């Protein structure tokens, strides 16, 4: 992968419901892939035009204004297209729904420069190369499986990004956790970066709002199969929240702690859980309003083979 000059070029209209807000705040919401400080720098340098002319970061928007951004960033890393198998569940002119496999990193970063979902998208859906983060609207952890929505056009990207911020994209997960839960519930605990370990998230008093709803699907002697619905979408949210109530997800290498076999647990179950190898977490259902057709659509992805095999074993030997 070579470092090349990268040209960022985009044009869109500000929705009317942003009327009265400061321009820099509006742009930060509509272009979340760029930091607010970077956007303010571009405004000051005249690289962002509002209705064809440079504008002030503090000016208030009316709504419907035309936004144009064109800037060349020198020595920025350009992501490459790679012919990597990709399970595309659905595709139309505006969006792609992908069923991500375990072990696939979502986008290139330090330590994972290629062989990611983004590299695969750039090959299978070439038009995503023109979009921020190759059209990604949200992410899944490397070893979490399931559904992701990707935009194919700038208009779809703006619409879906706003829908995610407004909590209008419904995401349902399946997971298997340690311990036998008695009932479902809601976890409302603010989250932020772990104060000591940079790669971890944690429950912190001054963190961002994080709300997770969970319901029991199957209850076993030593484990529980849950349906989990995200109200917010913080990094590692389900994993952190389940660990916070002492029901960490099976196989979670970061938040699950060292393996401890439950008392009186079947030996086969012990071995299966100990050797599962990843967090038992799957993005099972995704519902959204299609930005092109404006029709509400729901997509589902069957449980992956390893998850289903573990679940079958629990039903047979841990019921």
Q: Is there a single domain that holds both residue 176 and residue 152?
A: no
pLDDT the model gives residue 78: 66
Consecutive H or E run containing 135: none
Reading the block at residue 22, the tokens are 């400061």
Give the residue-averaged pLDDT of 47-70: 88
Q: Is there a single domain that holds both residue 280 and residue 206?
A: yes
Q: How many structural domains is the chain composed of?
A: 3
pLDDT tens track for 76-122: 446 889 999 999 999 999 999 999 999 999 988 777 888 999 999 99
Percentage of the chain exceeding pLDDT 90 = 68
Last-in-domain residue among 140, 166, 192: 166
Give the residue-averaged pLDDT of 224-241: 96
Q: Is there a single domain that holds both residue 104 and residue 200?
A: no
Which of the residues 5, 24, 114, 141 is marked catalytic? Answer: 141
pLDDT the model gives residue 277: 92
Q: Does any domain span residue 197?
A: yes
Residue 13 Cα to chain centre, angstroms: 25
Q: Is there a single domain that holds both residue 147 and residue 180?
A: no
Question: Are 103 and 143 within 8 A, CB to CB?
Answer: yes
Q: Is there a single domain that holds both residue 263 and residue 203?
A: yes
User: Which residues, 6 or more positions from 269, have their beta carbon under 8 angstroms from its beta carbon?
Assistant: 222, 313, 314, 317, 318
Q: Is there a single domain that holds both residue 175 and residue 313?
A: yes
Residue 19: give its domain's CATH number. Answer: 3.10.290.10
- Mean pLDDT for the chain? 90
* C-alpha separations of 223 from 55, 96, 195, 220, 314 in Å: 57, 35, 30, 5, 8
Q: Is there a single domain that holds both residue 210 and residue 307?
A: yes
Domain hosting 238: range is: 171-285+303-317
Q: How many Å apart are CA 308 and CA 304, to the nearest integer?
A: 6
Q: Is there a single domain that holds both residue 50 and residue 137?
A: no
Q: Is there a single domain that holds both residue 60 and residue 107?
A: no
Q: Does any domain span residue 97?
A: yes
Q: Is there a single domain that holds both residue 51 and residue 124?
A: no
Q: Does any domain span residue 261?
A: yes
Q: Does any domain span residue 62?
A: yes
Cβ-count burial 78-102 (b if 16+ within 10 Å, e if not)? ebebbebebeeeeeeebbbbbbbeb
Give the residue-averaged pLDDT of 1-18: 70
143 noted as active-site residue: no
Last-in-domain residue among 133, 166, 199: 166
Of 6 and 33, the one with more pLDDT: 33
Q: pLDDT class for 70, splitting at 50, 70, 90? A: confident
Q: What angle do CA 24, 29, 33 make, to 5 degrees?
A: 100
Last-in-domain residue among 26, 49, 77: 77
Q: Is there a single domain that holds both residue 99 and residue 162?
A: yes
Looking at the predicted structure, is the pLDDT value of residue 5 above 60?
no
Q: Is there a single domain that holds both residue 103 and residue 64?
A: no
Q: Does any domain span residue 298?
A: no
Locus of tokens 């072990």 = 103
pLDDT the model gives residue 117: 95
């Amino acid at each position: 992968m070579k470092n090349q000059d990268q040209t960022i070029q985009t044009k869109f209209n500000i929705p009317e419901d942003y009327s009265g807000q400061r321009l820099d705040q509006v742009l930060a919401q509509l272009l979340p892939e760029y930091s607010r400080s970077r956007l303010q720098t571009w405004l000051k340098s005249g690289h962002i035009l509002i209705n064809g002319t440079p504008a002030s970061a503090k000016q208030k928007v009316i709504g419907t204004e035309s936004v144009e951004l064109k800037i060349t960033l020198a020595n920025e890393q350009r992501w490459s297209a790679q012919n990597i198998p990709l399970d595309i569940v659905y595709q139309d002119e505006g969006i792609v729904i992908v069923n991500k496999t375990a072990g696939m990193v979502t986008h290139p970063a330090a330590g994972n420069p290629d062989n990611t979902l983004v590299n695969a998208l750039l090959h299978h859906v070439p038009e995503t190369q023109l979009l921020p983060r190759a059209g990604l609207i949200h992410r899944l952890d490397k070893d979490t499986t399931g559904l992701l929505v990707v935009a194919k056009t700038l208009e779809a990207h703006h619409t879906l990004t706003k829908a995610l911020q407004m909590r209008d994209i419904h995401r349902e997960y399946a997971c298997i956790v340690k311990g036998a839960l008695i009932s479902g519930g809601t976890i409302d605990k603010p989250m932020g970066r772990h104060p000591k370990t940079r790669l971890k998230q944690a429950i912190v008093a001054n963190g961002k709002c994080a709300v997770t709803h969970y319901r029991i699907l199957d209850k076993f002697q030593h484990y529980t199969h849950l349906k989990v619905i995200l109200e917010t979408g913080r990094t590692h949210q389900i994993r952190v929240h389940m660990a916070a109530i002492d029901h960490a997800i099976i196989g979670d290498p970061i938040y699950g702690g060292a393996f401890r076999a439950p008392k009186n647990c079947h030996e086969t179950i012990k071995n299966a859980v100990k050797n599962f190898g990843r967090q038992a977490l799957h993005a099972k259902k995704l519902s959204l309003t299609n930005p092109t057709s404006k029709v509400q659509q729901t997509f589902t992805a069957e449980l992956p083979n390893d998850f289903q095999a573990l679940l079958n074993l629990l039903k047979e030997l841990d019921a």
